[in-house]
Amino acid sequence: MEYSAEKLHEEKVFKDPVHRYVHVRDRAVWDLIGTKEFQRLRRIKQLGTTYLTFHGAEHSRFNHSLGVYEIVRRIVDNVFAGRPEWNEEERLLSLCAALLHDLGHGPFSHSFEKVFDLDHENFTRMIILGDTEVNEVLSRVSFDFPKKVAEVIAKTYENKLVVSLISSQIDADRMDYLQRDAYFTGVSYGHFDMERILRVMRPTEDQVVFKHSGMHAVEDYIMSRYQMYWQVYFHPVTRSSEVILTKILHRAKYLYEHKYSFKHKPLHFYSLFEDNVTVEDYLKLDEAVVLYYFQIWQEEEDVILKDLCCRFLNRNLFKYVEFDPAKEYKKLTRLSVLFEKAGIDPEYYLVVDSSSDLPYDFYRPGEEEERLPIHLMAKNGELRELSRESDIVDAISGKRRTDHKLYFPADLIEKGRGNSAIKEISELLEL
Amino acid sequence: MEYSAEKLHEEKVFKDPVHRYVHVRDRAVWDLIGTKEFQRLRRIKQLGTTYLTFHGAEHSRFNHSLGVYEIVRRIVDNVFAGRPEWNEEERLLSLCAALLHDLGHGPFSHSFEKVFDLDHENFTRMIILGDTEVNEVLSRVSFDFPKKVAEVIAKTYENKLVVSLISSQIDADRMDYLQRDAYFTGVSYGHFDMERILRVMRPTEDQVVFKHSGMHAVEDYIMSRYQMYWQVYFHPVTRSSEVILTKILHRAKYLYEHKYSFKHKPLHFYSLFEDNVTVEDYLKLDEAVVLYYFQIWQEEEDVILKDLCCRFLNRNLFKYVEFDPAKEYKKLTRLSVLFEKAGIDPEYYLVVDSSSDLPYDFYRPGEEEERLPIHLMAKNGELRELSRESDIVDAISGKRRTDHKLYFPADLIEKGRGNSAIKEISELLEL
Amino acid sequence: MEYSAEKLHEEKVFKDPVHRYVHVRDRAVWDLIGTKEFQRLRRIKQLGTTYLTFHGAEHSRFNHSLGVYEIVRRIVDNVFAGRPEWNEEERLLSLCAALLHDLGHGPFSHSFEKVFDLDHENFTRMIILGDTEVNEVLSRVSFDFPKKVAEVIAKTYENKLVVSLISSQIDADRMDYLQRDAYFTGVSYGHFDMERILRVMRPTEDQVVFKHSGMHAVEDYIMSRYQMYWQVYFHPVTRSSEVILTKILHRAKYLYEHKYSFKHKPLHFYSLFEDNVTVEDYLKLDEAVVLYYFQIWQEEEDVILKDLCCRFLNRNLFKYVEFDPAKEYKKLTRLSVLFEKAGIDPEYYLVVDSSSDLPYDFYRPGEEEERLPIHLMAKNGELRELSRESDIVDAISGKRRTDHKLYFPADLIEKGRGNSAIKEISELLEL
Amino acid sequence: MEYSAEKLHEEKVFKDPVHRYVHVRDRAVWDLIGTKEFQRLRRIKQLGTTYLTFHGAEHSRFNHSLGVYEIVRRIVDNVFAGRPEWNEEERLLSLCAALLHDLGHGPFSHSFEKVFDLDHENFTRMIILGDTEVNEVLSRVSFDFPKKVAEVIAKTYENKLVVSLISSQIDADRMDYLQRDAYFTGVSYGHFDMERILRVMRPTEDQVVFKHSGMHAVEDYIMSRYQMYWQVYFHPVTRSSEVILTKILHRAKYLYEHKYSFKHKPLHFYSLFEDNVTVEDYLKLDEAVVLYYFQIWQEEEDVILKDLCCRFLNRNLFKYVEFDPAKEYKKLTRLSVLFEKAGIDPEYYLVVDSSSDLPYDFYRPGEEEERLPIHLMAKNGELRELSRESDIVDAISGKRRTDHKLYFPADLIEKGRGNSAIKEISELLEL
């Protein structure tokens, strides 16, 4: 039998707390899950440092990837199968792209990408196309299958219907992570009726659309998304831990560049510091490795690196105050001077962090990231953009919300009491 | 105000997926959570290698420890408070002991303890009494408070009522882990009506007892426990990963003892290999560190260490067959010889693993580990041992169930086809 | 001991699927639950005819009343107790008002109130103040206690804080029914984090307010409310059953007024038909009685009464089309004429039904029903109206949404095929 | 197209709180749900008087019947379809039998059947085969289809595999009611992993069997069943309400037989009293009708009928004490004499009620009701009876547990204080 059509002798199931069971019947999917590149996702947390805010958020990207796969499987096997708009030949491609869409994520992606100027989507592509076990399995399906999978994930694949399953404002990725992150953090947001949403999905030539009768379920999903962003993903305590993590990486790089002599050579970081990371280097990085270095760096001579690592590992985070960049620019400058005076390096200990979310957007051609709008399908087949049908979605559509906070180590400031710079700092920060 | 009575200015809450919220009002409890020894529990998984079987089981001991604390808090604040049998002065002690009961767990405790002959309870005691942040916080309560906390956890504290809250056949520890492990794995076992059990708990002089009207809830708990053991904790796939992990540790120790030259010195393991682990060494160990070594050992020269580490990290586990040690002793011997012949070291690749559980037991003085039975309290105050009242519990009471399996690498055997030893192996193992 | 302070020897608990347990410790509350007027609420469904759309919605007002009581109990005992703004003497009053707030509801209130011009709030007052078991229990607390309870429910009680617990845009009543109705229907809307909302509630002089940190939980509640209205309460199929029910009552009244001779005298309806219902008459009405009459009316001579009763009992409902009263007035007139011609009485068989909801409103003095806005309390104690803080709530605030539908018996029209009037009807209704 | 194969234009779904959605695609199933005999099940509660103990238990047999149908649908469409042992032609028969298996239940079946010597299974058969809408729909499938459906429900159908889907120790009926009754009462028992049980079901020639790997899920189901019986179905308070209901019926029958002149003729009861109930009479009975009569009987002259009806409607139930029929026979006789003396008719006010459950049984040919055992299927296809494989099931297998209680009106006895007979009664009952 052709490998692409090969089924397992008996269906395999994974017990999943969110979708109850994840079902695998295709040999190729099973083999992909067994590759070392995919298993590596077990060592990368889905929500980065969020576990320092919500202790339940310890789940991995492996966990989430299986979930996205399962959602796409239900769509293509239970909803799309047999419909004329759906080409059965795209089935395996959709499943593999769903499973592998996050393959290029590294440890604490958010911070690493920022500091070292990396792009996980790029690594996903390189892993799929490179000399890897994943590539080997995909190539068994067909010569150009790895390329197709990479294209779907890169959103450049010609069949936009397949692309929209994985990447749109309401795709399998988002539907899984909202529910999964809500489940593991324990927050009561993040619930919506996915079963209903799946039932009203319909394939069209270039995108997935939704029967109009399911509009309220889609609205509910949009609201869940909005709440999860502000309640979980942008939680100010999580951002504090991100700030510290980012500063650790900055400091380590700085030290390396300034020929600091590490007690224990940070071999795994060399290519990052030197900006020439290969796929092979990249695949050796995971959160265990990073946490290992943070632990041994607690014993370095450099007081900043040492302090920041202790803070991160022992969750001794920075405090924060609201900050308005437009109005409080001078205050920030003054604080910077005062920190310097007080012997607290403002480069590492006085940080403005901004979060911003666009809950839903209709189509604006030419904008930085063109976001495909959600379309509802009326009984007569006519398509209408969601925000024109839903008052609630219209209300929040296209409205970017931004939040700025200023982070600093309240404990260090407290310890310095008596010092006159510290006194003024305390007043400015209203401590 | 005395530290022991000091309350936080405002109650702190942790969002917990199992108990919804964990509430902290006592300054001492809050400070303990912030110690580095307690934060270290975030880097040790509650269920060791179980995540290789149930992908959701990625939660940490930090997670569980907060849960045990919260259950004890609900008992002492909502059920025991005000009852004459309950001494309010034991409240903070109970809370701290609950929070810290697992403090001495190391990475993958089960395997590490077996291979290196460690005892986590011993480390818990040493961390509480040693030169640590935890000790410092506890000492602030009173001079002998650390000692008392250690005694409660060691079950030697004179007030057995307090001990039974943390360690009995139905204690806060077990009630938390059954529910928590069920939640994170997603299995449907592990549910029982804890709210009802807490409501029927009553303090007596030397133990917690349960109002007779709650018997069915207690029965249900016993059944949950039974199911979780066989469905989750002793799952044969998890045991396969434990087998591999144990063999990695054995091999590394063997190599060290035989002066093998590691490419990268396993500094964190030296004291383990030499059997002189200090508390300070121990606290540096966590699962990130262990996984870091397993990763770099994938590149060692030694083929056994290298192979086992690859297997563990990439979840290429051993297969298993049922094994009856009484009847199949000869078969094992024969297999051992054949493995040797086929060039597969049976010391590392042919392993019998046994699991055994005693779901509930009445009191048998003098037995290896005296297990305190569960007592029901009739309306007239009379106490009766659970198994005398419940048919179901009686049925399983004192009945030890044991399961033996033989583990081996089916893939290696498969590769060897053609070899005559392999052929006989395949027949014996019915591959 | 004074009756008002009397506690039960042992706390009573009701197992409740929504709040897990309902706890009763006050003698007066226990006695109220045992009165025949309160037990009567078991025979009145919480959601009227909704069970014909969502088969799970068979729960009674008894069910809901216990739930509202429990929420208020948690607020006053767990959140308000001990705060200076809260007067402990209002505790029992709040509990009793919560329990009894729906006491005056009759069978299928919505339709009965419309047809017979009744007001359940008026009946609640009369039952509380009249010669009833409820009045007897309340009077035992104090001479003027029944009057106070009635005032709280009527929103005229001087302590507006107490009133706002039971009647505001986010009160115990709404919080219970959203969750309860979601639970019994099984829809996935209606979930919000009530535990968090309760924790951020704060008493002030004239209303309950919410700590600003709980804003997102309140937003989520507003969204739940919005979704439940349109997904459940205004479901077009439920409205169809309401239309039929209303027409049955109209017809029965019409027949009575026109001296029709019922086979079996509708004694329980006489005072309704004659518009002189006493409390005593009213208390004899429940849904069992109404359904009994509908059943025997299936055997009446009058074809309209008979047909409508069969339809209701056997769920043979009217179909519907969208209807725009502004634009389609002429169409309705024409249909009316055609129905007449076709021998289908348009008075009973061609019905426009309108539903309208105002999801949230800020304060507009002088409007028909002044709705108290929700206030958030900033850290500095300042109060801000919700819609000024929340983009989402602002977006839907004050926006009334209305939906009109035209109901008719598609089966009767289908049967009449051939008839020319029917033909035109079919075209107009696009059947 | 043949009616038996006819599909609805679009699948219909019912929102179900237990199974999330009930799916209907077959025209015949849809038509059956719309018959008046099936809609009547909305007016009969699934758990009779249990709502007087667990206020959430207000769900109807309609509710449950849809659930049983849905479970069978999932089995035949998702598990059995395509397997050689399964005959696709039995599909519709299985679905219809599942849907209609409880069709013959009357109001408060338990009590009515006992007092009037009725058998709901007999009525199910008569409704299916008689001149009814249900019969009309079934006959459209084929001439002998009604007979087949009746046979499946009566367990006489030749294909025992089909029979075992609906009637065995682990059938769709039991699986639905355990979960549904747990959901509506809110108890935490009644949960088991039905999804897993369905996945391991396998058709054989004469019964459904279960893959051995699903044994623990089956054990869990048996335990749920056991707990639900003793925690919910045999709850002593529910039995108290059953006792009163039964005595009401006895009294009404007695009065009728003794020519008592009812103020309002109990027409609906005549054929019951005279023991000549036709299907037509029977279908007019529902719980609304019964409650209507109970309400008007509250105003009858007969003090016993009047009192019992007030008790039932206002939940003024009998109290109970444990009773050992073997040892306390004399006490009962004495109490009977004393009740008589005190003017409290022991016939109606002193009642022994017994409940008895056999949680699981292996096969015992010739016993009153032969119960088919549950079989597990080993990997090699061999069948083994459950209790031989499961320690827990073995422990409770075949063990009948019985509970006797003595019910009486404590309030009446309390009122009689002073009277010497009452005094002795109080002592004997330890009031």
pLDDT tens digits for range D374-394: 999 998 899 999 999 988 888
Contact A65, A102 (CB under 8 A): yes
Distance from CA of A220 to the nearest CA of C (A): 8
Chain D residues with a Cβ under 8 Å from any Cβ in chain A? 13, 20-21, 195, 199
A206 and A221 assigned to the same domain: yes
Nearest CA-CA partner of A72 in A228, A159, A146, A176: A176
> Which of B292, B306, B307, B316 is the best residue to mutate to test the A interface, defined by the most A CB atoms within 10 Å of its own CB?
B292
H-run or E-run covering B26: strand B20-26
- Please name every residue paired with B403 in a beta bridge, in sequence order, or none if there are none: B355
Average pLDDT of chain C?
A: 93
B91 and B223 assigned to the same domain: yes
Question: For C257-308, what is each residue's pLDDT tens digit?
Answer: 999 999 989 999 999 999 999 999 999 999 999 999 999 999 999 999 999 9
Cα B32-B33-B38 angle, rounded to 5 deg: 90
The lowest-confidence range among A162-171, C359-368, D164-173, D174-183 is C359-368
Question: For D10-50, what is each residue's pLDDT tens digit?
Answer: 889 999 999 999 999 999 999 999 999 999 999 999 999 99
Contact A256, A273 (CB under 8 A): yes
For residue D320, is pLDDT > 80? yes
- Please name every residue paired with A201 in a beta bridge, in sequence order, or none if there are none: A210
Q: How many Å separate Cα B106 from the centre of its chain?
A: 10
Q: Encoding tokens for residue C85?
A: 């703004």
Phi, psi of D116 (to 5 degrees): -105, 10
Asked if D196's CB is within 8 angstroms of B216's CB, the reply is: no
Chain C residues with a Cβ under 8 Å from any Cβ in chain D? 14-18, 20, 34-36, 39-40, 42-43, 51, 54-56, 58-60, 62-63, 66, 183-187, 284, 286-292, 295, 310, 313-316
D216 and D269 assigned to the same domain: no
Which of C233, C248, C271 represents a domain boundary (last residue)? C233
For residue C348, is pLDDT > 90? yes
Report mean pLDDT in 10-residue bins for chain B, 431 residues.
88 95 97 98 97 97 98 96 94 98 95 94 96 98 97 96 94 96 92 93 95 93 90 95 97 97 94 95 96 97 98 97 92 96 96 86 59 88 92 82 94 86 92 83
B93 and B33 assigned to the same domain: yes
Asked if B15's CB is within 8 angstroms of A186's CB, the reply is: yes
Q: Encoding tokens for residue D90?
A: 């039995």
Asked if A43's CB is within 8 angstroms of B55's CB, the reply is: no
Collect all residues of chain B within an 8 Å Cβ-Cβ radius of residue D187: 193
A266 and A208 assigned to the same domain: no
Collect all residues of chain C within an 8 Å Cβ-Cβ radius of residue A226: 392
Collect all residues of chain A within an 8 Å Cβ-Cβ radius of residue C216: 189, 227, 230-231
B220 and B277 assigned to the same domain: no
C225 and C243 assigned to the same domain: no
Collect all residues of chain D within an 8 Å Cβ-Cβ radius of residue A199: 13
Q: Give the integer Cα–Cα distance in Å for A39 and A41.
A: 5
Within 8 A by CB and 6+ apart from C260, the residues are C302
Residue C38 within a domain: yes
Chain C, nearest residue to B193 by Cα: C20
Asked if B59's CB is within 8 angstroms of A63's CB, the reply is: no
pLDDT at D309: 98
Which of C170, C203, C233 represents a domain boundary (last residue)? C233
Chain A, nearest residue to D23 by Cα: A199
pLDDT at A221: 93
Collect all residues of chain C within an 8 Å Cβ-Cβ radius of residue D316: 34
Asked if B13's CB is within 8 angstroms of C195's CB, the reply is: no
pLDDT at C190: 78
Collect all residues of chain D within an 8 Å Cβ-Cβ radius of residue A13: 199
Q: Give the integer Cα–Cα distance in Å for A361 and A363.
A: 6
For residue C112, is pLDDT > 80? yes
Contact C57, C185 (CB under 8 A): yes
Residue C380 within a domain: no
Distance from CA of D218 to the nearest CA of A (A): 17
For residue C367, is pLDDT > 60? no
Contact B258, B211 (CB under 8 A): no
> What SS3 class is residue A121?
helix
Asked if D187's CB is within 8 angstroms of B192's CB, the reply is: no
For residue A178, is pLDDT > 70? yes
Distance from CA of A48 to the nearest CA of B (A): 13
Average pLDDT of chain A?
A: 93
Residue C204 within a domain: yes
A119 and A218 assigned to the same domain: yes
Q: Which amino acid is at C418?
A: G
Q: Give the integer Cα–Cα distance in Å for D408 and D353.
A: 11
Contact B62, B185 (CB under 8 A): no
C165 and C243 assigned to the same domain: no
> What SS3 class is residue C196?
helix
Q: Give the integer Cα–Cα distance in Å for C216 and C221.
A: 9
For residue A249, is pLDDT > 70? yes
Q: Give the integer Cα–Cα distance in Å for A329 and B211.
A: 65
Residue A365 confidence class, pLDDT cut points 50, 70, 90: low
> Which of D219, D320, D387 is the best residue to mutate to test the B interface, defined by the most B CB atoms within 10 Å of its own CB?
D219
Question: For A200-213, what is each residue's pLDDT tens digit?
Answer: 999 999 999 999 99
Chain B residues with a Cβ under 8 Å from any Cβ in chain A? 14-18, 20, 34-36, 39-40, 42-43, 51, 54-56, 58-60, 62-63, 66, 183-187, 284, 286-292, 295, 310, 313-316
Q: Give the integer Cα–Cα distance in Å for A38 and A105.
A: 11
> Which of A198, A218, A227 is the best residue to mutate to test the C interface, defined by the most C CB atoms within 10 Å of its own CB?
A227
Collect all residues of chain A within an 8 Å Cβ-Cβ radius of residue B183: 17
How many domains, in total, are found in chain C?
Answer: 2
Collect all residues of chain D within an 8 Å Cβ-Cβ radius of residue B230: 216
> Range of C97's domain?
3-233
Contact D259, D302 (CB under 8 A): no
Question: Domain holding C155: CATH number?
Answer: 1.10.3210.10
Residue D422 confidence class, pLDDT cut points 50, 70, 90: very high
> Which of A390, A392, A403 is the best residue to mutate to test the C interface, defined by the most C CB atoms within 10 Å of its own CB?
A392
Collect all residues of chain D within an 8 Å Cβ-Cβ radius of residue A195: 20-21
Contact B211, C10 (CB under 8 A): no
Q: Indicate the residue of B191, B216, B227 with minimum beta-carbon distance to D216.
A: B227
> Which of A40, A58, A70 is the best residue to mutate to test the B interface, defined by the most B CB atoms within 10 Å of its own CB?
A58
Give chain C's length. 431
Residue A367 within a domain: no
Question: Domain holding B275: CATH number?
Answer: 1.20.1250.30
CB atoms closer than 10 angstroms to residue D85: 11
Chain C, nearest residue to A401 by Cα: C391
Residue D363 confidence class, pLDDT cut points 50, 70, 90: low
Chain B, nearest residue to C14 by Cα: B196
Residue A383 within a domain: no
pLDDT at B360: 78
pLDDT at C14: 97
For the segment C121-141, the average pLDDT, to the nearest whole number, is 97
Question: For A268-284, what is each residue's pLDDT tens digit?
Answer: 999 999 999 999 999 99
Asked if D21's CB is within 8 angstroms of A195's CB, the reply is: yes
Distance from CA of D10 to the nearest CA of C (A): 17
Q: Indicate the residue of A21, A195, A199 with minimum beta-carbon distance to D195.
A: A21
Q: Indicate the residue of A42, A51, A316 with minimum beta-carbon distance to B51.
A: A42
pLDDT at B246: 97
Nearest CA-CA partner of A214 in A231, A201, A230: A201
Residue A177 confidence class, pLDDT cut points 50, 70, 90: very high
Q: Give the integer Cα–Cα distance in Å for A191 and D228.
A: 30
A197 and A346 assigned to the same domain: no
Question: For D409-420, what is each residue's pLDDT tens digit?
Answer: 999 998 887 788
Handedness of CA C325, C327, C330, C332 (dihedral sign): negative
Interface partners of chain D (CB pairs < 8 Å, 3 or more) are A, B, C
CB atoms closer than 10 angstroms to residue D331: 14
Which of B212, B233, B254 represents a domain boundary (last residue)? B233
Chain D, nearest residue to A196 by Cα: D21
B49 and B185 assigned to the same domain: yes
For the segment A304-315, the average pLDDT, to the nearest whole number, is 98
Residue C416 within a domain: yes
pLDDT at B93: 98
Collect all residues of chain C within an 8 Å Cβ-Cβ radius of residue A230: 216
Q: Give the integer Cα–Cα distance in Å for A198 and B54.
A: 26
Distance from CA of B140 to the nearest CA of C (A): 30
Residue D366 confidence class, pLDDT cut points 50, 70, 90: low
Q: Indicate the residue of C191, C217, C227 with minimum beta-carbon distance to A216.
A: C227
Q: Give the integer Cα–Cα distance in Å for A308 and A297.
A: 9
C228 and C240 assigned to the same domain: no
Residue B387 within a domain: no
Q: Which amino acid is at A5?
A: A
Chain B residues with a Cβ under 8 Å from any Cβ in chain C? 13, 20-21, 195, 199
pLDDT at B372: 79
pLDDT at D391: 81
Residue C361 within a domain: no
For residue A53, is pLDDT > 90? yes
pLDDT at A419: 85
Contact C57, C190 (CB under 8 A): no
For the segment D236-260, the average pLDDT, to the nearest whole number, is 97
